[in-house]
Amino acid sequence: MQTEKQIKGKRGEQLAAEYLSQKGYSILEQNWQIGHLEVDIIASNETMLVFVEVKTRKSNAFGEPEEFVGIAKQRNLIKAANIYSSKTNITKEVRFDIVSVILDEGISSIKHIEDAFKPRW
C-alpha cells in the first residue's frame, strides 16, 4: 500500500510530465532506474536530453520544493545520466532540470527550472 507522500509524489511526477509534454518535450522515460539510481523523468527536445528531478510538496512553508535537491541527489542524477546516455547512444547535449510542484487541496502550481545544476567535475 502506498503512503500519502508516495501518492502525492506520483501525482506530482504525472503533472510534471504533462507540463513538459505541453512545452514540446518528448517524454522518453518516467521513473527510470538502474541499480539504486533513479531519474523521475527523462525527456528530450530538438537539441537536449533532459534529466528531470520532480519535487512535490503540500506547500512551500518550509522552503521551495527545488531547494530540497541536495548535492547527493545531484550526483546520483549525473551518474544515472552518464549510464543512460552510454546505454542509449543518444548524443544530444545533456541538461539537468528540476520541476517543482506544489499540490495544495487539489490546486497545483508547477515551476520548471531549466539547467538547475551542472555536473561538478
Task: Dump pLDDT digits (tens) for 44-88.
Answer: 999 999 999 999 887 776 667 677 788 899 999 999 999 999 999
pLDDT digits (tens, 9 = 90+) for 17-44: 999 999 999 999 999 999 999 999 999 9
Look at 6 and 22; give whichever has higher pLDDT: 22
Mean pLDDT value of segment 84-109: 89
- Residues in CB range of 14: below 8 A, 6 or more apart: none
User: What span, in angstroms and rounded, lies between the C-alpha atoms of 29 and 20?
Assistant: 12
CATH number of 4-117: 3.40.1350.10
Residue ranges per domain, the chain? Answer: 4-117
CB-CB neighbours of 80 under 10 Å = 20
Residues 106-116, mean pLDDT to the nearest whole number: 88
- Distance (Å, whole) CA 7 – CA 50: 24
Three-class secondary structure assignment of the chain: CCCHHHHHHHHHHHHHHHHHHHCCCEEEEEEEEECCEEEEEEEECCCEEEEEEEEEECCCCCCCHHHHCCHHHHHHHHHHHHHHHHHHCCCCEEEEEEEEEEEECCEEEEEEEEEEECCCC
Q: What are phi and psi of 13, to 5 degrees?
A: -65, -40
